[in-house]
Amino acid sequence: MCEFKVYMKAAEGEREVAQEIVQVDVRDGETTLRDILGSSKSVKNAIVSRIDVGRERLELVAVPMLAEIQAFLSEYERCLVEQRYDSDLELRWEDVKAKGDEMVRTLWARYKGVKAQ
């Protein structure tokens, strides 16, 4: 049986967050890692970016707007299943755009608008 070491990649670098992981679930902006004994650890705003079975390595990447994206997608799916439009879908989309705007402004402020080479 494959058990993974799990690493989180973020702007600050990479760090190990769990070991002996056999199951990963992503829901509502939270990634839940379960180990071979059934214990779980949750990581907010992260998605799986790479799985290397040979090295038994699973990499997560930080996604600050994941919760907003998932809320939008859940609302969209609900509208499709119910075959009706709901204005909550627009609210969820506005949340996604607002979080994206916040991320862009923060990045600009941090680097003072300096463009990458």
Residue 116 located in a structural domain: no
Q: What percent of the chain has pLDDT over 70?
A: 96
Q: Does 72 lie in the same domain as 53?
A: no
At residue 20, the pLDDT reads 96
Please give the tally of structural domains in the chain: 2
* Mean pLDDT, rounded, for 32-48: 93
For 65-105, how does the pLDDT look when each residue is reduced to its tens digit (9 = 90+)?
988 998 999 999 999 999 999 999 999 999 999 999 999 99
Confidence at 13, pLDDT banded by 50, 70, 90: confident
> Shortest CA distance to 96 belongs to which of 61, 79, 72?
72
Question: pTM of the prediction?
Answer: 0.73
Q: Does 72 lie in the same domain as 47?
A: no
At residue 12, the pLDDT reads 82
Q: Does 71 lie in the same domain as 56?
A: no
At residue 1, the pLDDT reads 67
At residue 113, the pLDDT reads 63
CA angle 86, 91, 10 (to 5 degrees): 130
Q: Does 9 lie in the same domain as 36?
A: yes
Range of the domain at 57: 4-62
Contacts of 22 (CB under 8 A, 6+ apart): 1, 2, 3, 4, 34, 35, 36
Q: At what angle do helices 66-82 and 88-111 cross, to 10 degrees?
A: 160
pLDDT at 39 over 70: yes
Q: Does 71 lie in the same domain as 50?
A: no
Contacts of 37 (CB under 8 A, 6+ apart): 20
At residue 107, the pLDDT reads 87
- Average pLDDT over the chain reads 91
Q: Does 26 lie in the same domain as 53?
A: yes
- Give Cα 103 distance to the centre of its chain: 15
